[in-house]
Chains A and B, each alone.
Chain A
Amino acid sequence: MGTTVPTAPTRPRTLVVASAFGTGSVIMYFGGLFALYFSIRADALAWGTQWYPEGAIQLVPGGMNMATMAMSAITMGWAVHSVLNDDRVHLMIAMALTAVLGIAMVNQTVFYFVDIGLPIDTSEAATLLFTIVGSHLVMVAIGVLWLGMLLLRTLGGQDTSRHRDLVSAAALYWYAAVAVYSVIWIGIYIAK
């Protein structure tokens, strides 16, 4: 029986640094969208124009989504803690929970948008609302796919304390998604 050549070690953290730059570009994309949103909103309010139709934007769905995203940040932290301690079972549970919370957030948002029945071309406000929230849904969906891939890797036994870069990178991306949603929550759902 032949001997297997051991895998050459790889330099750690390069992936996390690259992911940080990628995440930075995503955050700047949202920065541009928010800049447009707040600018046009300020102009509209200064002219006394109605921004959203009365009752179109409600605090409860936005608050529920914020709570969901905040919980997912905790479960993501749990995943990072688990991989640091080589706790594969808890790592898989934490990542699966985070993904489920992400899917729940997407589901809540889609249900709410169908429920309010606000056509995308009603006004500049509606167009910007759908663009910003839709972009964030895509961001969360990518995060969920990423977590799905990580779960596959973990099942293969590849996410360990010595090879935890992908989990750290996913966590960084996910925290950015939560941070972006907190701006959506304050700037759109609370400030209206």
Chain B
Amino acid sequence: MLTTGFKLWFGFAVAVMMAAVFAGYTSGATETGPVSIGWKGGVGNHVSYTILIFAAGVLAMFGLIAAAFRDADAEAQAEVLGLAEAPAGQVAVGNSLWPVFGALGVGTVGVGLVVNSAIFVLGLVIVAAVGVEWTMTNWSERVSGDPEVNAEARENLMRPIEIPILGTVGVAVLVLAVSRVLLASSVTGAVWVATVVGLVIFGLAILISQRPEMPRSTVRGILFAGITAILILGIVTAVSGEREFHHKGGGAHHDEAEADH
């Protein structure tokens, strides 16, 4: 028994196929070209003919899908699952940020293709990481019918992987940012920056350790502010560039250039 959906899509496919043949014959095709998809002779205008043939193929595929799945009929779906009634189309599972991060990764890939291969690779890494995380989130949402149990299952599986990786990446980013700041400062300035930053971190650590009653939110706020400041400074100094280095046995490059003049 052919379903209504199949008849609709297949009818479209046949109509578009006929349109392709008609377009071929009215744009200079040979007698057998349009009916043999160009195997025996020319098809006329290649653009219209090719697009219409591809469209006919796609519509025929939709028709076959509709026939195979019985037009997504609720009774047929319930029968597949062995249930009296078909379940809801979607189960509410809460919000997810992975599509947003996925879009960020795809955007980074696009920017990297134009700007720099390192950014492209970074985008690929983000897309791959989001893919794994999103997959695991989807898996956890079906562990049971209890959202709390599902969230716990996900944390038990992913936290031992996420925390070491994120920790390593965080340390690497911080080291990179601080190194940009030191490289942008003068020789004496770099020593002062390292000393002051070290003293500030040390002082804050002593302060926090002396006040165990300090709320966790305050500690998190201090850490967040510090990391943000270092990252901003790192980005600004990376853009402004490194200081000029004077090598032993020779002057700076610009000095040599001036001497030539």
A contact residues vs B (CB 8 Å cutoff): 4-14, 16-17, 20-21, 23-24, 27-28, 30-32, 34-36, 38-39, 42, 145, 149, 152-153, 156, 158, 162, 172
A98, B92: Cα distance in complex, Å: 33
Interface stretch (choices B77-85, B190-198, B200-208): B77-85
Contact between A5 and B144, CB atoms less than 8 A apart: yes
- Given A6, A23, A34, A36, which contacts B54 in the complex, CB threshold below 8 Å? A34
A27 proximity list for chain B (CB < 8 A): 54, 57-58, 61
A58, B89: Cα distance in complex, Å: 50
Contact between A35 and B46, CB atoms less than 8 A apart: yes
B72 proximity list for chain A (CB < 8 A): 13-14, 17
Q: Nearest Cβ in chain A — how far from B130, in angstroms?
A: 11
Interface stretch (choices B131-139, B176-184, B221-229, B246-254): B131-139
Instruction: Known contacts A20-B62, A24-B61, A27-B58; decide if A36 and B47 are in contact (CB<8 Å).
Output: yes
Question: Interface size bucket, B side?
Answer: 35 or more
Contact between A7 and B89, CB atoms less than 8 A apart: no
A34 proximity list for chain B (CB < 8 A): 50, 54
Number of A-B contacts (CB under 8 A): 102
A32 proximity list for chain B (CB < 8 A): 51
Q: Nearest Cβ in chain A — how far from B103, in angstroms?
A: 16
Contact between A28 and B54, CB atoms less than 8 A apart: yes
Instruction: Known contacts A13-B72, A27-B57, A30-B54; decide if A8 and B87 are in contact (CB<8 Å).
Output: yes
B139 proximity list for chain A (CB < 8 A): 153, 156, 158
The CB with the most chain B CB atoms within 10 A, among A16, A153, A156, is that of A156
Considering only residues 119-147 of chain B, those with a C-beta below 8 Å from chain A are: 128, 131-132, 135-136, 139, 142-146
B contact residues vs A (CB 8 Å cutoff): 42, 45-51, 53-55, 57-58, 61-62, 65, 69, 72, 77, 80-81, 83, 86-91, 128, 131-132, 135-136, 139, 142-146, 149
A152, B131: Cα distance in complex, Å: 11
Lowest 5 CB-CB distances: which A-B pairs, in order? Answer: A31-B54, A5-B145, A35-B50, A39-B46, A38-B46
Contact between A31 and B51, CB atoms less than 8 A apart: yes
Instruction: Known contacts A35-B47, A38-B50, A42-B46; decide if A12 and B80 are in contact (CB<8 Å).
Output: yes
Q: Nearest Cβ in chain B — how far from A166, in angstroms?
A: 9
What is the chain A residue whose CB lies nearest that of B48? A35
- Given A35, A152, A162, which contacts B135 in the complex, CB threshold below 8 Å? A152
A16 proximity list for chain B (CB < 8 A): 65, 69
A21 proximity list for chain B (CB < 8 A): 62
Contact between A39 and B69, CB atoms less than 8 A apart: no
A20, B9: Cα distance in complex, Å: 13
Contact between A7 and B145, CB atoms less than 8 A apart: yes
5 A-B pairs, CB-CB below 8 angstroms?
A5-B149, A13-B72, A16-B65, A35-B47, A149-B135
Contact between B132 and A4, CB atoms less than 8 A apart: no
Q: Nearest Cβ in chain A — how far from B239, in angstroms?
A: 32
A9 proximity list for chain B (CB < 8 A): 81, 83, 87
A7, B42: Cα distance in complex, Å: 58
Contact between B50 and A13, CB atoms less than 8 A apart: no
A172 proximity list for chain B (CB < 8 A): 65
Q: Nearest Cβ in chain A — how far from B17, in angstroms?
A: 13
Q: Nearest Cβ in chain A — how far from B120, in angstroms?
A: 13
A14, B146: Cα distance in complex, Å: 23
Q: Nearest Cβ in chain A — how far from B23, in angstroms?
A: 12
